[in-house]
Amino acid sequence: MTEDNLAPQTIPGPFVDVHIASAATICPIAGSLDRNSVLQAADVLDPCCDGWKRVAIIRTPGTDRISYGGARTPLTATLMFAAVKHRSGILSGHPDPNSGRRALGFVQREGNCALPANFTGDLRGPSRALPHFWEHTVGSGHATLGLRADWQLQLQRVHNELGMQHVRFHGLLSDDTGTLVCENDQFLYSYFNADQIFDFLLSIGMRPFVELSFMPSALSSGSQTVFHYRANVTAPKEYAQWSVLIRRLVNHWCERYGRDEVRQWFFEVWNEPNLTAFGSGKQSDYFELYRYTVQAIKGVDSALRVGGPATAANAWIDDFIAFCRGNGLAADFITTHHYPTDALGLPGDDTEAQLSASKRSVLREEAREVRKQAGDLPVYYTEWSTSSNPRDPMHDDPYAAAFIVKTVLEAHGLVQGYSYWTFSDIFEENYFPSVPFHGGFGLLNIHGIAKPSYRAFELLHGLGTELMKVVGAHATVDAWLVRGGGVATVLLTNFALPRHPITTESVRLSLRGAKPVSQATIQRIDSEHANAKPHWEQMGKPEYLSAAMVAELNAVSRLRKDAQPITFDDGILRVELTMPPQSVAAIALVY
């Protein structure tokens, strides 16, 4: 086997476990290789030399010594594995963002081997429009939560500070909202609670992204329910009666708020119908429900916007579009959901293991496929998050902030809306919690204390609307340059999935075409910045907080703006900084 003839292969295990937590010394090898020692042929990114190499990764049996073949120079180096499944003999790693090839490792020189992440940009160069699509909609749990004063206060804050324009929630048609009940064998329609919620939304400058769910018991064909509030998820026993409900409800809103207003809303049919947790899971059943629903809504006003299929895991897009076109039914937009742990999450899930088996930028790749399937139809992701587990400790950590910034900006150009699930821990799908930091989905905890995830959206909201090109690539660090309003912002993340290698990185950024700046500042989100949870842990993890404790944690959670050193020479502005693991930094250059 030579450098030019390395066939990809894996040698069946079992192998002796080779525990390489972060790095192992490796050496170049020459000549032929013992096939019994070869684990796999691979591409390895070697920034010390000349880029990508074709190598064979081998293990000396019974030792922790790893070697590689194919190096052109006698180089002693350090190989950083992205992931190693030792027992199966399979090595896997990160894809290179430029070539798309997958690196099993990253080769760095020994000694001072922490190479900086180098990025360049040109402030005079062309830009692309950056609409704040992530602010179109934000998620909440359950319609009747919208009647709570604390929920309303938090949503108004999310609108004012993060720019969120619509809110989506489950259960608008469920029994506890009272939209339709059966009393003494009579159907009683009551829109009072729904109106109270929508009145509030409009009063603060927001609108509903109306999820038409779940089934009123009076119309249901069965007794299957979901969530703590026991929402019925069966099909209607009479589709004609479901159609009457939808038509009467939508007509009422048009009369109350005016057709011009309601035409700016979005009507989404059901929630995740491909999962048996929310019904039969059968496509044919959902398509029948959609048929009756869209006909009822368009019967009120053909200009009202209706879409679906509201699926989990990017499912049914092609089939849904084909069904609508084949039956002459309107589909004004596409909705779907995705999570990097795509499944209906449950407390107790081993989310860390699920995420470790995921892929970097997996949500971007999924959104690209949905964008392709949707054609010219607008795409709205009406749920996404760092995981689908409602009790995931990482929801409360800086990990979530780095994931959010990277994922949002990678969705640029692919979607019209990207609704994070959810804005608040005032949420009761499983039970209503009292622990301040319990790993809930929310950007704000039950006391309204901002998590690192909230601050991530705060930084995103502060961006301009001109996205500039940035050149450079790194295993864990990503950089974006955004211009607008006399400010250029450099947004950086240092992110890796759980159990994947990550360390503090030196970052160097050079911006050509720069003018002297009047101010350069940095805001950070990491383990020591905008991160209230460790402070709560230092308090002894109290389950119930006093007003003084809430005030103290609010203060710790805030973003802090510090001066950022820069150098400026001959039209080139240079910035150097360090990025700890799972972190975000925003450098604002004011002209």
* 392 to 324, 438, 471: CA distances (angstroms): 38, 8, 35
CA 157 to chain centre: 21
Helix (H, G, I), strand (E, B) or coil at 400: helix
Contact 520, 590 (CB under 8 A): yes
pLDDT recorded at residue 190: 96
Q: How do the domains of the chain map onto residue ranges?
A: 24-115, 118-128+466-590
Span 118-128+466-590: which CATH code? 2.60.40.1500
Contact 419, 137 (CB under 8 A): yes
pLDDT recorded at residue 43: 38
Contact 292, 242 (CB under 8 A): yes
pLDDT recorded at residue 55: 40
**Residue ranges in the chain whose pLDDT is less than 70:** 1-115, 343-347
Q: How many residues does the chain have?
A: 591
b/e sequence 461-480, b meaning 16+ C-beta within 10 Å: ebbbebbbebebbbbbbbbb
Is residue 383 annotated as a catalytic residue, yes or no? yes
- Taking the CA atoms of residue 532, residue 537, residue 538 and residue 540 in that order, the dihedral angle to the nearest 10 degrees is 140
pLDDT recorded at residue 518: 93
Is residue 528 annotated as a catalytic residue, yes or no? no
pLDDT recorded at residue 346: 57
pLDDT recorded at residue 117: 92
pLDDT recorded at residue 39: 38
pLDDT digits (tens, 9 = 90+) for 84-131: 222 223 233 333 334 333 333 333 333 333 457 999 999 999 999 999
DSSP letters of 471-540? E---SSEEEEEEEETTEEEEEEEE---TTS----EEEEEEEET----SEEEEEEEBTTBS--HHHHHHTT
Catalytic, out of 135, 268, 272, 429: 272
Catalytic, out of 383, 410, 429, 505: 383
What is the β-pairing status of strands 66-69 and 51-59?
antiparallel
Q: What's the half-sphere exposure (Cβ side, CA atoms, 13 Å) at 450?
A: 24
pLDDT recorded at residue 93: 36
pLDDT recorded at residue 430: 87
b/e sequence 378-413, b meaning 16+ C-beta within 10 Å: ebbbbbbbbbbbbbbebbbbbbbbbbbbbbbbbbbe
Nearest-angstrom CA–CA distance, 221 and 236: 5
* Angle at 564 (CA atoms; ends 397, 410), nearest 5 degrees: 50
* Residue 92 one-letter amino acid: S
Cα-flanking dihedrals φ and ψ of residue 252, to 5°? -60, -45
